[in-house]
Amino acid sequence: MLRCPECSAEIDVDEDEVEEGEILSCPECETELEVSQTHPVALNPISDDLEEDEDIEEEDDEEEDFDEDGDLPEEEDLDEDEEDEEE
């Protein structure tokens, strides 16, 4: 019987049939766990931090405005655009 490293709940898995790299899910806290070794079986929680970092980078990329050439506009170009919008 395996235990979740996050909440200590029992995970009903046959220890002889798990493979290294296999992903399991805790039935109590729903944490995804990776089998890091098989003899003895060791489980490591899969961190959501990595996914959150990737999401932040994608959001940063979306915020940048590119001109028609695919370049970031220079400060002068930004000022001209603002003046055009005011008129």
Report domain extents, the chain: 2-45, 49-86
Inform me whether the pLDDT recorded for 10 exceeds 90.
yes
Inform me whether the pLDDT recorded for 85 exceeds 60.
no
- How far is Cα 45 from Cα 6, in angstroms, rounded to an integer? 7
**Strand residue runs (E) in the chain:** 2-3, 10-11, 23-25, 32-38, 41-45
- How far is Cα 21 from Cα 70, in angstroms, rounded to an integer? 41
pTM: 0.53
- Its CATH architecture, for the domain 2-45, is Single Sheet (2.20)
pLDDT in tens, 17-37: 999 999 999 999 999 999 999
